[in-house]
Amino acid sequence: MRRVKVGLFFVICIISCVQSVFGQAVTQQSYERARKILDESIKAYGGIETLRSIRNFSIHSEGDFVFRNQSRKVGGADRSPLRNDFTYDIKTDRYCLVLKMKYPGAVRSEQRQIFDGKELFQENLSRRNISKLPPPPPRRNRNFWLPQFSLISAFERVNGLRFLGVASFNNRPHQVISFVNETGQQISLYIDSETKLLSKWERMISDPIAGDTTTETIFPGYKTIGNQKVPTGRIVKIDNEITQEVRYVDVAVNSSLNDDAFKLDPEFKFAAPETPNSLKVTKVAANVYIIGILTYDELKVLFIDLKDYIWVMEAPGVGADSRQVIDKIKETIPGKPIKYLAVTHHHSDHAGGVRTYIADGVTVVTTRGNRPYFERVAKSQFTIAPDDLMLKPQPLKIEFVENEKRVFTDGTQTVELYNFGPNPHAEEMLVAYLPKERILFEADVLDRPLNGDYPIAEESAVYLAAWIKRNNLAVEKIIPVHGTITTMTELLTAVAEREKRTND
């Protein structure tokens, strides 16, 4: 019996050693094949010294911004003309980006960003003011614009280089390799098997809507500028849905740069400091509260203390944001369940945190046209970053606002939900009106910055003013999801100013 055990022990050892050697061979072979593909691609661009010779570049691009989960309809792909002027100085690690586009129902957005290598500033060309923003991740912008920098990044981190396989992209065979970039993200590079040029790079993300998915930056073609091969344009996709599609109208490499391009406009003033009250509860009336969460700006959530339950409106941010909001709500009103969550519309910055409420068994209130959005969100898989619904699966409970209006009341407190669409911003959209308090809670239809700068009436704001009048609502105060509280008088003044500018 002992001989059998000893023999079995040696067999296991031999198998383990073979597996170990085989495993090491696979890893090394994967690296060696990926390294060969990377070296061939770098050679196709002129060699590593040619790639590293880029001291600066400027790109003027024109095309479309595609509103993924921001269109007027669920599943829509509304497009807006997009213009970018981007200049990057590699030596000093500074850049200037001028971006011009238009959101549905909104005025045209014209912004200029200046990064001086340490701090990032944004000029609002319409309001003629300056705001300070969080700095971007290292090299994020240059990799996004030119493929050369992804190859340089991979070359500098070859220890993580691996061969993933052969794939067909745009009906052409590609060799796919991966590496871990400077921010710890695993990037997959699709190298054209014939030209050896980079067709796209992609990475896995946890998307608030789709869950586990990929984001892609695609370079559809190339032309030669001096000794550099540069893209003819760029396409960006998330979950195989286009979010940007632009052509490179003009590209300059290693040109003479004007320092003024990286300076703030001296005639612009710094905007009044914004004072976000992230997770601070504000009581706006008896039993009526708002709470702000801080993402890229502050977004407000409305919650109301009814007799037997708590009523909430809006789920901005992501699931973790909603968990903090829910905890804060229950801290403010202990001992009552949250029964309903009303969501203004399907746009991701307003409904991105809905899965947390679904996990808690809360009923979602929306319009029938938005049903496919919430069904999709509820079914998405989140294995990269498991959220509450992934860890505690619950069925989607959903109800609708029928006949343009639904009322929630306990006999003392009343909330009237209206289908505010179709309007310039969304086909179907909810606003909440509190008749006793004369308060209207809305999203994305009134442009009023958080710092209290004067409101600018957009197409949606004009529609809002007319809609309030048409429905005979005695509104005195408007609480926006974005920005600061505005009076009805201020809204009407902004609309009058718009009409005056239009007639002039």
Q: Which pLDDT value is given to residue 230?
A: 97
Q: How far apart are CA 181 and CA 203, in angstroms?
A: 11
DSSP secondary structure string for all residues of 368-428: GGGHHHHHHHHH-B--SS--HHHHS-----EEE--TTEEEEE-SS-EEEEEE--S-SS-SS
The beta-strand segments (E) located in 3-119 are 56-66, 79-89, 94-102, 108-115
Residue 222 CA neighbour count, 13 Å, CB half: 19
Q: What pLDDT shows up at residue 21?
A: 45
Measured CA distances, 352 to 36, 321, 356, 364 (Å):
42, 9, 9, 13
Whether 98 contacts 85, CB under 8 Å = yes
407 burial level (CB within 10 Å; 0-12, 13-18, 19+):
exposed
The DSSP result for 121-157, as a single string, is EEEETTTTEEEEEPPPPTTHHHHHH-THHHHHHHHTT
Tokens 């892609």 belong to 216
- Give the relative orientation of helices 459-470 and 488-503 as an angle to the nearest 10 degrees: 120
Closest to 210 in 3D by CA, of 377, 14, 398: 377
Joined together, the tokens standing for residue 461 give 């704001």
Q: 286: which 2 tokens?
A: 């008896």
Residues 228-255: tens digit of each pLDDT:
999 999 999 999 999 999 999 999 999 9
Q: Assess whether pLDDT exceeds 50 at residue 14.
A: no
Residue labelled with tokens 């008896």: 286
Convert the pLDDT of each residue in 307-352 to its tens digit. 999 999 999 988 999 999 999 999 999 999 999 999 999 998 899 9
CB burial of residue 159 (10 Å; 0-12, 13-18, 19+) = exposed
Which residues neighbour 6 within 8 Å (Cβ) at sequence distance 6 or greater? none
Q: Which of 204, 145, 143, 155 has its CA nearest to residue 179?
A: 155
Provide the residue count of the chain: 504
pLDDT of residue 140: 66
Integer Cα distance of 277 and 478 in angstroms = 18
The full set of domain ranges for the chain reads 32-270, 281-503
Query: What CA–CA distance (Å, rounded) separates 98 from 249?
Result: 15
- CA–CA distances in Å: residue 51 to residues 43, 229, 247, 382: 10, 10, 22, 38
Query: Residue 111: pLDDT above 60?
Result: yes
pLDDT digits (tens, 9 = 90+) for 438-492: 999 999 888 777 666 777 788 888 999 999 999 999 999 999 998 888 999 999 9
Strand partners, 229: 224
**Beta partners for 130?**
123, 270
- The whole-number pLDDT of residue 85 equals 96
Antiparallel, parallel or unpaired: β 269-270 and 211-218: unpaired
29: Cβ contacts below 8 Å, ≥ 6 apart: 163
pLDDT in tens, 326-336: 999 999 999 99
**In the numeric block, which tokens belong to residue 434?**
């509190």
**478-483-487 Cα angle (round to 5):** 25
**The pTM is what?**
0.88
Q: Which of 315, 491, 346, 495 is nearest to 425 (CA)?
A: 346
Tokens, residue 182: 């400077």
The conformation of residue 450, written as its DSSP 8-state character, comes to T
- DSSP H helical segments within 430-471, as ranges? 459-470
Taking 70 as the threshold, does the pLDDT of residue 96 lie above it? yes
281-503: CATH, from 3.60.15.10, 3.30.2320.50, 3.40.50.10810, 1.20.1250.20? 3.60.15.10
Q: Above 80 in pLDDT, residue 106?
A: no
Peptide bond between residue 422 and the one before it cis (omega within 30 degrees of 0): yes
CATH number of 32-270: 2.50.20.10
Q: Residue 438: exposed, middle, or buried by beta-carbon count in 10 A (0-12, 13-18, 19+)? A: middle
Say what the pLDDT of residue 24 is. Answer: 62
Burial of 7-28, coded b for 16+ CB within 10 Å and e otherwise, reads: eeeeeeeeeeeeeeeeeeeeee
Nearest Cα to Cα of residue 262 among 109, 91, 444: 91
Reading the block at residue 365, the tokens are: 């209130």
Mean pLDDT, the chain, whole residue set: 90
